[in-house]
Amino acid sequence: MSQAIDPEPPEYLPRSRIDRVERLLAELTLADKIGQMTQATMPEQVEAAERERLLSLVREGKIGSFLNVADRELRNELQSAAMEGRGIPLLFGRDVIHGFRTIFPIPLAQAASFDPGLARAAAGVAAHEASEIGIDWTFAPMVDVTREPRWGRVAEGYGEDPLVASRFGAAVVRGFQGAGPGAPGSVAACAKHYVAYGAAEAGKEYNTTWVPERLLRDLYLPPFRACVDAGVMTVMCGFNDLNGVPMSAHRWALRDVLKGELGFSGFVVSDWTSLREMICHGNCADERDVAFASARAGVDMEMVSTAYAQHLAELVAFGKVSLAEVDDAVRRILTVKHQLGLFESPYTKVRAVSVALAKGHLDLAREVARASLVLLKNDSHCLPLRADHRHVALVGPLADDPHNPLGTWSFDGDRRASVTLLAALRERLGSGARVEHYPGVPDARSTDVSGFDAALAGVKQADVAIVVLGEDANISGECRSRAYLDLPGAQSALLERLASAGTPLVLVVMAGRPLTLDRELAHAQAVLYAWHPGTMGGPAIADVLFGDVPPSGKLPISFPRTVGQVPIYYNYKNTGRPPKGTERGVPRGTPLDPVDMVASYLDVEVTPQFPFGFGLSYTTFAYSDVRVSAKRVRLSERFEVSAKVTNVGERAGIEVVQLYLRDRVGSVTRPVRELKGFERISLEPGESRVVTFPLGADDLAFSGPDLSVGAEPGWFDVYVGGDSRAEASDAFELVPD
């Protein structure tokens, strides 16, 4: 049975504004209400006739929101038409995903910092820059947990772990929305894509998702709950069908769970034409069916397609959709508009001094990029580079590219402000050094090898070679699924050719997803994973390469050895025949005598190339004295896990201390490990610090056989360390009250 619609307005507005929403709602005609539920897009190049048509629709109250209006004057012209018409302001949305003019590292890279505070600050900068031209609402954060690196949109989220996605999602919501709804320089956030979109089969965009309810509740829902708890004002439903029902028609997921159980009081917007696409799904016969299914399910605003505009009035007239359901949607939309202060201040004024690309914004972008870089390999202390490296060969198509390192969803970024690695190195090393650039290949996907010889000759003459390879931005993001995760084009062959020079090679990888690097690891002495690092990526990479700041990023998603291992993730189930991690080849046994017959592969190790949480430093950290504050913990009690972390190396460093638990026995099988806490700390050489994680029964809870959520008494193993293979351990018993 679906949750009944609560006619009471949400209680997060002053009483005067609540009354205003209710009075306005009572005055609106059904046509006006449907207009509020309709969002239109503005083409980048709009002809005069189309512009006038849209203005006319706005005056008539048939459009309540726009997306992709990135021009202040046009925005104010449309807003004027709305205020002169029905007197209800328009809401203007835009995909401000990881920056506006100042582009920050992609969200997956930000997750590698394991510092939600940095992500919150970055979102605050993006909101200030976007609001300056009249953007009220962004379609971020994307909190789809995913175990699928083939999926292009892995770049937009925070990886494979629900705790990481929850903390980053909540932080980004608070960053975008500022001190409170409608605060100066803030925008409304939108948690997307509800729900389980990251579970798309085979990593294909828009694909089917099959997710048992237990997994849905334990893995995919927690980040949305965290965003709701953080006050997110809107939620976008996904393109996917969930267990056979498209999300745009999923009444249980939208009304019962999101608006009911989670208590979401904002409004739900569809994704781009996702309502109409239900005809293709085979869930609806025509757009009348579409309008019926989505309005009943709880989609409050339709993006771009026009099923509501064409058919919702008829459905209400014939009693197929209740007026209460329409009023609930419109009340939610009007409330958000009031929260944002649009009724009082509908127009956007030109600021005397623009905040876009302010020095503080660029400094923060550099800081976030530094924290996101992950050192994967560093043989013979190849890094940091020495001061006497005065002749540097910089190779690769991405080394002097101001565009592609910005990554997906960066169309508003100012390419002129983007600082490449070549520019950063030349500025850093000055005129007394030689930094020579050899593209090697024309672009990241090219198979043209004619530049190999010049690059090899340059590398042979250099003290060190920095080789920048990876993915261009256009094969990362929406509808950018890949069947192979290798370096595209001839890049791997280029690296192999350069290795023959005998010059130390430092490989810098720029990409929007995990790549399979098994071959490349053999040819480079050091590997730094830079993701798509944004506007200040070049200076940030130079800072880390030369040791001005230590590498501190950790992987928020497991890196497979080969695409055949996908999906591969740290919090897997043990099975009845768990692997030891080293098996490879045909087992000695047979089904009649199953010696060595375990959950493994014949042709590759079962372990990832790099596990979740992994990342090297220029120093070494030792873990000891892992302790639980009590060996027996009652269900109602809070308790603590602590560990001593010591910098036993010779350089200062930053470590992400990670806490994992294993529930030894459960009424349903439990993962081998689950992340329950993390903290970034800085330590000088020889310095120690005790890191403490507070916990309670809620942190141990999961969905049981009947889907009731709670912790179960029993023994728990505790692991604290620098990645998901942490060995320092203790144990405790959870007992009934």
Closest alpha carbon to 22 in 401, 334, 479: 334
Specify the residue for token string 């009035």.
313
What pLDDT was estimated at residue 2? 35
pLDDT of 8 > 70? The answer is no
Q: Which CATH superfamily is domain 621-735 in?
A: Immunoglobulins (2.60.40.10)
Residue 244's pLDDT band, with cuts at 50, 70 and 90, is very high
What pLDDT was estimated at residue 205? 97
Q: For 125-175, how does the pLDDT look when each residue is reduced to its tens digit (9 = 90+)?
A: 999 999 999 999 999 999 999 999 999 999 999 999 999 999 999 999 999
DSSP code for 488: P
Give the integer Cα–Cα distance in Å for 603 and 595: 18
Select which of 218, 271, 328, 723 is catalytic.
271
Q: For 565-595, how does the pLDDT look when each residue is reduced to its tens digit (9 = 90+)?
A: 999 999 999 999 999 877 788 988 899 999 9
pLDDT of 373 > 80? The answer is yes
What pLDDT was estimated at residue 13? 59
Identify whether 463 is a catalytic site residue: no
What pLDDT was estimated at residue 398? 98
Q: What is the mean pLDDT of the chain?
A: 96
What pLDDT was estimated at residue 490? 98
Strand partners, 703: 709
Q: Which CATH superfamily is domain 372-545 in?
A: Glycoside hydrolase family 3 C-terminal domain (3.40.50.1700)
What are the sequence ranges of the domains in the chain? 16-339, 372-545, 621-735
pLDDT of 556 > 90? The answer is yes
What pLDDT was estimated at residue 44? 81
Residue 202's pLDDT band, with cuts at 50, 70 and 90, is very high
The residues near 447 (Cβ < 8 Å, ≥ 6 apart) are 441, 489, 490
pLDDT of 10 > 60? The answer is no
Strands (E), 256-365: 267-269, 302-303
What CATH number labels 16-339? 3.20.20.300
Q: Which two tokens stand for residue 167?
A: 């903390």
Give the integer Cα–Cα distance in Å for 496 and 500: 7
Average of per-residue pLDDT across 371-393: 95
Neighbour tally for 602: CB within 10 Å: 9
Q: For 61-105, how does the pLDDT look when each residue is reduced to its tens digit (9 = 90+)?
A: 999 999 999 999 999 999 999 999 999 999 999 999 999 999 999
pLDDT of 11 > 70? The answer is no
pLDDT of 58 > 80? The answer is yes
Q: Which two tokens stand for residue 352?
A: 């005397």
Are the C-beta atoms of 163 and 115 separated by less than 8 Å?
no
Spell out the SS3 assignment of 509-552.
Answer: EECCCCCCCHHHHCCCCEEEECCCCCCCHHHHHHHHHCCCCCCC
